[in-house]
Amino acid sequence: MSVIDTALNQIKSLHPYTPGKPVEELERELGITDSIKLASNENPLGCSPRVQEVIEHQLSEVSLYPDANAYYLKQALAKNLGVETHQLTMGNGSNDVLDLIARTFLTSGKEAVFSEFAFIIYPLVTQACGAKARISKALPRQSAQAYGHNLEGMLEQINENTAVVFIANPNNPTGTWVEKADLLNFIEAVPEHIAVVIDEAYFEYVNVPDYPDSTTWLNQFNNLIVTRTFSKIYGLAGLRLGYAISSPEISDLLNRVRQPFNANLLALSAAKASLEDSAFVEQSIQVNTQGLSDLKQYCSDKGLFYIPSAGNFLTVEFGSRTSDLYQKLLNKGIIVRPLGNYQLHDFLRISIGTPDQMQRLYDSLSEIL
């Protein structure tokens, strides 16, 4: 028997997250230099210029541990969100927060409920804890929210072992969302001993009617946990910072599991500076709203089906041409995201880039198609 046999079965059978190649490596292989990455839902405008300033200022302090309690950032966030600082739990990205939630509530014998095509981290953290995933079938293709969460179906998956329900609103990789009244009815129907996680990674981008801000329900539901991130609109994906907003009691539990220094020094001050630059956020929303609308128009003109999206990406169906098209785009230096790991083999997820990047995408797509 080897030490590998000693490892937990739930870890040995875990499908690892498959990251894309580094852009530099890809360019070297293809012999190109000016590739564009529309693959990871990053902010094509980068981040607020204020971030560079604070990071330069803080470089002399990287020998120091970060503030384990994120005092100043929590103050700023609490004020922005209208919550108390002890309702916040910081994570090394919101993925870290999702992991903390899983480790707080899930173990062998417990179950987590989420939708087919939901964000890939939910099955990952569920299995890593030895818990069982209950996956509810997504809405059908003909539905207004094609491939989106079926909340009634999710309710049916809840049983006496359920400990956590994950909902991404909007969801990645589909981009689909759930409306306010439907989500409120859903949360009301979930027994109050079950943690309901609403992952709002794209919250700031959303520009659709009846989209809920779940943080407004925190006083009503003690079992509600809302997660947000600095990776998307704030453009700090590389610094890794996300957070949960919950009751103080849940936050207290999550913080016991949390490693004290999971949120790093540069990320904490960069995040605080980002919150102060509302002009950058406005501009990012504007570029995304226009870019998303143009991409939808492009698809309609070309007769391409896409999944409705409220995020900063669009998931487009290319059918049997998908992998060929993906490769041809790659050869032209345009990196998008195949969705085979979500069993969406006929789709590519395209992040919204700058107007110039999108024009290059359209030119290349039109040429290939």
Ligand X SMILES: *Cc1c(COP(=O)(O)O)cnc(C)c1O
Residues of this chain that interact with ligand X (CB under 6 A) are 41, 93-95, 119, 168, 172, 199, 201, 229, 231-232, 237, 242
CB nearer ligand X, residue 78 or residue 120: 120
Q: Are 37 and 23 in contact (CB under 8 A)?
A: yes
**CA of 292: how far to CAs of 57, 80, 111, 358, in Å?**
36, 27, 36, 10
Smallest distance, ligand X to C-beta of residue 32, A: 27
Position of minimal CB gap to ligand X: 93
Smallest distance, ligand X to C-beta of residue 360, A: 24
CB nearer ligand X, residue 48 or residue 172: 172
CB nearer ligand X, residue 94 or residue 115: 94
Smallest distance, ligand X to C-beta of residue 205, A: 11
CB nearer ligand X, residue 101 or residue 365: 101
Smallest distance, ligand X to C-beta of residue 271, A: 11
- 3-state SS track over 146-159: CCCCCHHHHHHCCC
CB nearer ligand X, residue 246 or residue 364: 246
Pairing assessment for the beta strands 334-335 and 36-37 based on DSSP bridges: parallel
Smallest distance, ligand X to C-beta of residue 65, A: 21
Which positions ≥6 away from 235 have C-beta within 8 Å? 42, 43, 45, 46, 47, 48, 51, 274, 284
Smallest distance, ligand X to C-beta of residue 173, A: 8
CB nearer ligand X, residue 136 or residue 172: 172
Smallest distance, ligand X to C-beta of residue 340, A: 17
CB nearer ligand X, residue 121 or residue 365: 121
